[in-house]
Amino acid sequence: MIVDIAVTESVAVLTIDHPPVNMGNTAMRTALADALDSVATRDGLTGVVLASAGTHFYAGSDISEFDRPMQAPQLPDVISRIENLDIPVVAALTGLALGGGLELALGCDLRVGDPTTVVGFPEVTLGILPGAGGTVRTARLVGVPSAIDLVASARRVTAEEAHALGLLDEVVPGHALLARAVERAAALGTKNRLVDRPAPESDEAAVAAARAAVSKRARPNVLAAVDMVCAGAALDGKDALRRERALFDELRVTDEASNLRYLFFAKRSATKAVRPRTPAPAIATIGIAGAGTMGASLARAFSARGYEVIVFDSNRAALERLADRDGIATTASGAGLGRADVIVDAVFEDMDVKKSLLRDVEPHLRDTAVIVSNTSYLDLNEMASALTVPERFAGLHFFNPPDRNPLVEIIRTTTTDDRTLAVLSALATRLEKTPIPAGIGDGFVANRVYADYRMQAEFLVEDGASPAEVDAALTDLGFAIGPFAVADMSGLDIAWARRKRLADTRDPRQRYVHIADRLCEAGRLGKKTGAGWYDYPDGAKRGVVDPRVDAIIEKARADAGVTARTVPGDEIRDRVLASMVCAAAALVETGVAERASDIDVALTEGFTFPARLGGPVRALARRNRDEVVSALAAAYRSCPVSFAIAEPAAAGEVPEAIEKILEAVR
Per CB under 6 A, residues contacting ligand 3HC are 20-21, 23, 59-64, 75, 96, 98-100, 103, 122-123, 126, 130-132, 134, 268, 272
Q: Which is nearer to ligand 3HC, 122 or 482 (CB)?
A: 122
Q: What type of residue is 141?
A: L
| CB within 8 Å of 56: residues ≥ 6 apart | 21, 22, 94, 95, 96, 97, 101
- Nearest approach in angstroms of CB 161 to ligand 3HC is 18
CB of 9 to ligand 3HC, least distance (A): 33
* Smaller CB separation from ligand 3HC, 23 or 633: 23
- The amino acid sitting at 242 is R
Question: Cβ 443 to ligand 3HC, closest distance in Å?
Answer: 28
| Cβ–Cβ under 8 Å, residues 270 and 435 | yes
Task: Round to whole Å and give the CA distance between 358 and 393.
Answer: 10
CB of 438 to ligand 3HC, least distance (A): 20
| Separation between Cα atoms, residue 260 and residue 267, nearest integer Å | 11
- The least distance separating ligand 3HC from the CB of residue 251, rounded to whole angstroms, comes to 11
Task: State how far the Cα of 261 lies from the Cα of 67, in Å rounded to an integer.
Answer: 9
Nearer to ligand 3HC, 118 or 549 (CB): 118
228 vs 383 by CB, closer to ligand 3HC: 228
How far is residue 276's CA from residue 400's CA, in Å, rounded to a whole number? 26
Amino acid at 139: A
The answer to whether 498 touches 504, Cβ cutoff 8 Å, is: no
Comparing CB distances to ligand 3HC, the nearer of 575 and 612 is: 612
Report in angstroms how near the CB of residue 62 gets to ligand 3HC at its nearest.
4
In one-letter notation, the amino acid at residue 43 is D
CB of residue 18 vs ligand 3HC: minimum separation in angstroms? 10
Closest CB 82 distance from ligand 3HC, rounded Å: 15
Instruction: Concatenate the DSSP letters of all residues of 388-409 into one string.
Output: S-GGGEEEEEE-SSTTT--EEE
Cβ atoms of 88 and 70 within 8 Å: the answer is no
Amino acid identity, position 145 = P
* 312 SS3 class: strand
Compare residues 246 and 502 and give the one whose CB is closer to ligand 3HC: 246
Closer to ligand 3HC by Cβ: residue 123 or 571: 123
Euclidean distance between CA atoms 124 and 130, whole angstroms: 8
Q: Which of 473, 484, 364, 371 is nearest to 419 (CA)?
A: 371
Between residues 122 and 483, which has the closer beta carbon with respect to ligand 3HC? Answer: 122
Closest approach, Cβ 126 to ligand 3HC, in A, equals 6
The nearest distance, CB 185 to ligand 3HC, in angstroms, is 25
CB of 79 to ligand 3HC, least distance (A): 10
DSSP-derived secondary structure for 278-305: SPPPP--EEEEE--SHHHHHHHHHHHHT
Nearest distance from C-beta of residue 100 to ligand 3HC, angstroms: 3
Residue closer to ligand 3HC (CB basis): 107 or 287: 107
Judge whether 213 and 221 are in contact, CB under 8 Å.
no
CB 381 within 8 A of CB 413: yes
Contacts of 94 (CB under 8 A, 6+ apart): 52, 55, 56, 57, 113, 114, 116, 117, 174, 177
Amino acid identity, position 349:
E
Question: Residue 98 or residue 119: which is nearer to ligand 3HC going by CB?
Answer: 98
Alpha-carbon separation of residue 189 from 90, 181, 185 (angstroms): 11, 13, 8
Residue with Cβ nearer ligand 3HC (61 or 297): 61
Provide, rounded to whole angstroms, the least separation between the CB of residue 412 and ligand 3HC. Answer: 21
If the CB atoms of residues 126 and 438 are measured against ligand 3HC, the closer one turns out to be 126
Smaller CB distance to ligand 3HC: residue 513 or 596? 596
Q: Smaller CB distance to ligand 3HC: residue 95 or 615?
A: 95
Q: Nearer to ligand 3HC by C-beta: 186 or 436? A: 436
Tell me the helices (H) and strands (E) count for the chain, helix number first.
28, 19
Distance, CA of 498 to CA of 516 (rounded, Å): 12
- Residues in contact with 600: Cβ distance below 8 Å, sequence separation at least 6, in sequence order: 262, 263, 266, 609, 614, 615, 616, 617, 618, 665
How many other CB atoms are found less than 10 A from the CB of residue 179? 13
Q: Which is nearer to ligand 3HC, 77 or 417 (CB)?
A: 77
CB of 39 to ligand 3HC, least distance (A): 23
Comparing C-alpha atoms, which of 375, 377, 433, 427 is closest to residue 402? 433
Which of 592, 665 has the CB closer to ligand 3HC? 665
Nearest to 221 by CA among 162, 135, 320: 135
16, 28 contact by CB (below 8 A): yes
466, amino acid identity: S
120 close to 102: Cβ distance less than 8 angstroms: yes
Strand order in the sheet with 118-120: 96-98, 118-120, 157-158
Q: Closest CB to ligand 3HC belongs to which residue?
A: 60
Q: CB of 171 within 8 A of CB of 159?
A: yes
CB of 250 to ligand 3HC, least distance (A): 14
Helices (H), 362-492: 380-384, 418-430, 446-463, 467-477, 483-490
Q: What is the DSSP letter of 485?
A: H
DSSP 639-662: -TTTTGGGHHHHTT---HHHHHHH
In the bound complex, what is the minimum distance in angstroms from residue 76's beta carbon to ligand 3HC?
8
CB of 95 to ligand 3HC, least distance (A): 9
